């Protein structure tokens, strides 16, 4: 069985903290989660409690960290069947593809579309 946290940590290292760049199509984001595309994510209420936030700010809150991990597990890892892929390296690559290019693209690469 592959390890979600290994793949998560590799990809999440590039996602950054808080951003509210008006030129970003995703609008307001926290650790790569876009409020525009995922307005119902439970973590937004916690992010809002810490405002105002500067660009790149990371919030030190274990509950919020858990919400971020759960979001990525449910929306990307589980949807590509990360636990069931042949090996950890493949799982890491497919997970990163799902996060950055979409689950559909990751499944195409796996020949599952």
pLDDT digits (tens, 9 = 90+) for 33-82: 999 999 999 999 999 999 999 999 999 999 999 999 999 999 999 999 99
Could you identify the residue written with the tokens 């796996």?
A: 110
SS3 assignment, position 14: coil
**Alpha helices for the chain (secondary structure H):** 4-12, 44-49, 62-72, 88-101, 103-109
Which of the four pLDDT bands, split at 50, 70 and 90, describes residue 109? confident
Q: Which token pair is 104?
A: 């559909």
Which pTM was predicted? 0.93
Contact 76/95 with Cβ under 8 angstroms?
A: yes
pLDDT in tens, 22-44: 898 889 999 999 999 999 999 99
Residues near 112 by Cβ (< 8 Å), separated by ≥ 6? 81
């Amino acid at each position: 069985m592959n390890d979600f946290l290994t793949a998560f940590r590799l990809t999440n290292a590039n996602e950054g903290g808080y951003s509210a760049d008006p030129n970003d199509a995703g609008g307001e984001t926290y650790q790569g989660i876009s409020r525009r595309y995922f307005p119902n994510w439970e973590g937004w209420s916690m992010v809002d409690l810490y405002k105002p936030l500067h660009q790149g700010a990371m919030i030190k809150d274990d509950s919020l960290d858990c919400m971020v991990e759960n979001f990525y597990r449910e929306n990307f890892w589980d949807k590509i069947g990360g636990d069931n892929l042949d090996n950890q390296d493949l799982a890491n690559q497919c997970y990163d593809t799902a996060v950055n290019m979409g689950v559909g693209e990751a499944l195409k690469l796996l020949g599952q579309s």
